[in-house]
Structure formats: structure tokens, C-alpha cells
Structure 1
Amino acid sequence: MQPTFETRRLVIRPRTLLDTDEFLAMDCDPEVTRFVDGPWGDSQRHRDFIETRTLASYPPGMGYWTIRNRSDASEFLGWILLIPTDARDPEVEIGWRLPRKAWGSGIATEAAFPVLQHATATLGLATVVAEIDILNLGSLRVAEKLGLTRRGEVIDHGRRSARYTT
């Protein structure tokens, strides 16, 4: 079971199918999905992708979380994930995606921090990874603010990504 986290500004709760339309709307912004591959141009495949990921069976304590404004729960601010890499590998990744209105406000770091603490302290994971396109400067800064260490670069789906780990 995934826990819910609260910070000064945010509620980070397990994602449900009721969040799907907000994820779809966020991903329709080409700037939001600029650095990630996905079925963004095909609405049915996109919906299926999100719903499949939402309903997937992840190891205990892992999955996707929806980020909401603590003072206005109707305000959607993105998501955080803690799942096996590519939803199937033994390695566990942390990731985030936020709508453009939330960029540059510290929300990604504030939301990812308790999830990362949960991964290491509660789940006992020795290593958590984040692979971030080297041109995605905002996400690279989030990884560094979280205290992740850059361990080199990898090529993933034809993109150069920086590899960060705990």
C-alpha cells in the first residue's frame, strides 16, 4: 500500500483513475513531454498508457502519486513515481512530471523528497535512480536538490540522459 505524504504546500497521494483526465491534459502540452517518449499524439493510446500504469501491480509501497495543492485539493500539480525502471526492471526509479504552471516553484523537489525518503528509510532501498535527458535542466536541478549524485550518462530511446542515484 502506498502512503500519502503532506508537506507545507502539498498533498502527495496515490494516483487513481479519477486523475486520468488531468494527466492527459498535462501531457497535451508539448513542452511538458518534450524530453520523454510516449503515445502523446494518440489520445486512446495515451489514455490506455496512463490507465495501465495507474492500475499496474507494483512492489509494496511503490507506484505513482498525484500532487495536489494542500490549500486547494482541486489544484492538480503533477505526479511523482517510484517504480521498477521501465515498469519492469529490478532497479527502482524516481521520476516526476508537472504542468508548466508549476515549474520553477520548488514543487517537484518538495513532492519528490518525501517519496525518496520513503524509498530509502521505509522500503530500505539501497539505490534509487533517476535518468534525465541532459537538456532537461529543470529536472537535473531537482535531482541535485534531492541529493542524488550524477553517475554518468546513458543512451535511452536514442536520448542522452544523465544517470543519478542515491
Structure 2
Amino acid sequence: MTEVPLPVRTERLVLRRFTPDDLDDLHAYQGLPEVARFLYRPPLTREQCVQSLARRAAGTAWAEDDDDLVVAVCPIGEERVVGEVVLKLASARARQAEIGWVFHPAYGGRGYATEAASATASLAFADLGVHRLFARLDVLNTGSVRVCERLGMRREAHLVENDLDGGRWGSEYVYAALAREWKAGRAQ
């Protein structure tokens, strides 16, 4: 079992584990149709958020495929959760992890997603031993495309109509970075 060093502080944010007290904040963005549309699922109900929150607060060992770490993102000095960053261990053997983020649209355009994703990526590479970190995102999600590019990730794939979202075929981009690339990019 790998111990995850939380909380993590950035210039403007605190990344911490979710607690049961975060239910209202979690549902405030996970229940929005405009958030769910890029996640290929319907908005979450309050009850689904209760279940999700219990799992998030418990955490996983970060040792086997599909273990994940979901961190709450809070502005420094505030208890409210404005979004989350997810790390999922896609392959323990190959030390590959997927990163993703979901933020309340009211907090968009402030650089929070980039700042939180950068801190989480650094944690993945430095503390969790990840070799390759990748992100999969809907090609229409231009905000997340910009986050990946700001992080210095390279676009590795364009998957055309690879998922069905209601009646719409969705296409995805895959962005990635290797640990050595991340380290070199941070040294510059």
C-alpha cells in the first residue's frame, strides 16, 4: 500500500481528501448537465453523490489496477469544494495512471483546474511512482484540452466516435506525459 501525502497546498489551493461534509458542494457541480455532458453519463443525483462521497472518503490502497485517488479542491482559506482531480491506476505493472478533473463551472477561467491538475500530476510522478500519466477527454471539451496543453502533455491519439452519449457519438483525445518529461519540464 502506498501512502498518499495529503493535503497538498499550491499557491492558491488545498487538495485534500473528501469528507462527508462535502456533500452539498459535490452535488452542486456533479449534478449539473453541463458538467456531466463531457463525462458520458447523466448528472449525478444527490443519493449517487452520497454513495460516491463514502467511497471517496474511504480511499483505496493505490496498489492494484483501478485503484483511484480523488482529491477535493478548495481555495486556500475556504472549506468549500470547487472541484476535484482524479488519479486512477490504469496499470500497476506498467505504472500508468489516468488523470481527470471536474470543476464547478462557476469557478472556470481562474486557472484552478490547471493548478490542481499540475499538483496532482507532480504527486503521481514523485510520490506514487507513476511512469506514464494520461488524460482522456471529449474533443469538444476545449477547457480540458487547454489544461492538458498547459501541463505540457502531448496529444497521442484522436479516437473518432468511440463513445455514445445519449444520441451523440463522442470523440476523444488522449494526452500523456512520461515521468522523465514531467521532470524535465519542471526543471525549465
What's the TM-score, normalizing by structure 2? 0.75
Residue identity in the other structure for 1:40: P
Instruction: Tell me how far 1:14 sits from its aligned partner.
Output: 1.8
Q: Distance in 2 between matches of 1:42 and 1:108?
A: 23
What's the TM-score, normalizing by structure 1? 0.84
Instruction: Tell me how far 1:84 sits from its aligned partner.
Output: 2.5
Structure-2 change in CA distance of 1:131 and 1:24 (3 Å): same
- Alignment root-mean-square deviation, CA: 2.3
Residue identity in the other structure for 1:80: V
Cα shift readout 1:30-80 (whole Å, capped 9, x = no counterpart): 21222113352544344324433543524169501111110x322322111
Aligned length: 161
Q: Distance in 2 between matches of 1:18 and 1:109?
A: 25
1:27 aligns with 2:38: no
Q: Distance in 1 between matches of 2:44 and 2:127?
A: 38
Does the 8 Å CA contact 1:131/1:161 hold for their aligned counterparts? yes
Residue identity in the other structure for 2:4: Q
Does the 8 Å CA contact 1:13/1:66 hold for their aligned counterparts? yes
Equivalent residues in 2 for 1:69-88, closer than 5 Å: 69-70=75-76, 72-85=77-90
Match of 2:182 in 1: none
Match of 1:103 in 2: 108
Q: Distance in 2 between matches of 1:146 and 1:37?
A: 24
Among 5, 17, 29, the residue aligned to 2:8: 5
Among 121, 125, 130, the residue aligned to 2:130: 125
Q: Distance in 2 between matches of 1:10 and 1:30?
A: 26
Structure-2 change in CA distance of 1:40 and 1:54 (3 Å): farther
Q: Distance in 2 between matches of 1:13 and 1:33?
A: 23
Residue identity in the other structure for 1:144: E
Among 41, 48, 73, the residue aligned to 1:38: 41
Q: Distance in 1 between matches of 2:42 and 2:57?
A: 15
Rg: which structure is higher? Answer: 2
Moved over 4 A (4+): none
Listed as ranges, the gaps of 5+ residues in structure 2 are 165-169, 178-188
Among 155, 158, 171, the residue aligned to 1:150: 155
